[in-house]
């Protein structure tokens, strides 16, 4: 299983969001490029960079993202505000290994299908789930879709991965069981990346038993030092023992 550290940008600073609210960021006083380089130097094979300013359309942090891609030398998947085929192509042409698309998959699913068709294995479908429903617009608007039905709409597209965020677990409204991730991963034809699940090393160890989970996004826990990147990579690389049956 791959650990994917995430750098989340707002106002050119590293941040984490509280309950997904863009107006209440937790600001981390570290240089985003240097932090990304630290993750890569520690052995991370892939990074995610999410640009919250691109989501709102106020500005963007394009130069920082490109500098991260240039300096780290690892695969970088870019998320945030990618709502047109042209925008997806711009990032891939700029050197992004993959692009993550969420809201546009709800509002313009044909665009996502076209992006996957023209850029096979480079488009990640973000599936953000709260109380059993897919959310859009940065977790702000519920849709009528169950996650399984939503994923089924893109079953024929050559997606690189499904990035599934358990919002209930991320905001602390549940006990962060693996049932959502495990069930969707078990039925998916596309590799699954889990998000919103990691607060400590035990969560990484438990995700290894979910089955069919290719990677896990880790953000806040790395910045507040609940876990260190070296420990996260070590746990993810350890051979899995037979499932203990507690997921």
pLDDT of residue 174: 47
pLDDT of residue 122: 98
**CATH class in words for 2-237:** alpha beta
In three-state secondary structure terms, 187 is: helix
- The whole-angstrom separation of Cα 33 and Cα 58 is 21
Domain residue ranges in the chain: 2-237
Q: Where are the beta strands (DSSP E) in the chain?
A: 2-10, 13-18, 21-28, 46-51, 75-79, 98-101, 123-130, 133-136, 141-142, 161-166, 192-195, 213-218
Decide if 128 is catalytic: yes
pLDDT of residue 196: 85
Decide if 90 is catalytic: no
The catalytic residue among 75, 128, 168, 203 is 128
- What is the pTM (predicted TM-score) of this model? 0.92
Contact 190, 216 (CB under 8 A): no
CA 180 to chain centre: 16
pLDDT of residue 146: 94
The catalytic residue among 8, 51, 53, 203 is 8
Q: Compute the half-sphere exposure of residue 185: CA atoms within 13 Å on the CB side of its CA.
A: 24
Per-block average pLDDT, block size 10, for the chain (247 residues)? Answer: 97 87 88 98 98 86 97 97 95 98 95 96 95 84 92 96 87 63 89 92 88 91 96 91 52
């Amino acid at each position: 299983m791959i650990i994917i550290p995430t750098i989340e940008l707002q106002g050119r600073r590293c941040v984490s969001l509280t309950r997904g609210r863009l107006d209440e960021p937790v600001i981390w006083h570290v240089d985003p490029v240097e932090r990304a380089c630290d993750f890569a130097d520690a052995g991370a094979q892939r990074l995610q960079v999410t640009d919250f300013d691109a989501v709102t359309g106020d500005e963007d942090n394009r130069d920082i993202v490109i500098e991260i891609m240039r300096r780290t030398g690892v695969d970088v998947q870019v998320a945030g505000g990618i709502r047109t085929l042209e925008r997806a192509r711009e990032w891939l042409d700029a050197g992004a290994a993959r692009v993550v698309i969420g809201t546009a998959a709800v509002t313009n699913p044909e665009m996502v299908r076209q992006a996957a068709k023209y850029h096979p294995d480079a488009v990640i479908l973000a599936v953000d789930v709260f109380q059993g429903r897919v959310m859009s617009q940065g977790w702000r608007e519920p849709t009528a879709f169950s996650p399984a039905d939503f994923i089924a709409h893109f079953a024929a597209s050559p997606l690189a991965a499904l990035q599934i965020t358990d919002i209930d677990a991320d905001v602390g409204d549940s006990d962060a069981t693996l049932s959502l991730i495990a069930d969707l991963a078990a039925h998916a034809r596309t590799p699954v990346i889990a998000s919103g699940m990691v607060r400590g090393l035990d969560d990484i160890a438990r995700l290894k038993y979910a089955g069919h989970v290719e990677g896990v996004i880790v953000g806040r826990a790395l910045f507040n030092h609940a876990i260190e990147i070296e420990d996260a990579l070590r746990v993810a690389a350890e051979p899995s023992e037979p499932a203990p049956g507690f997921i």
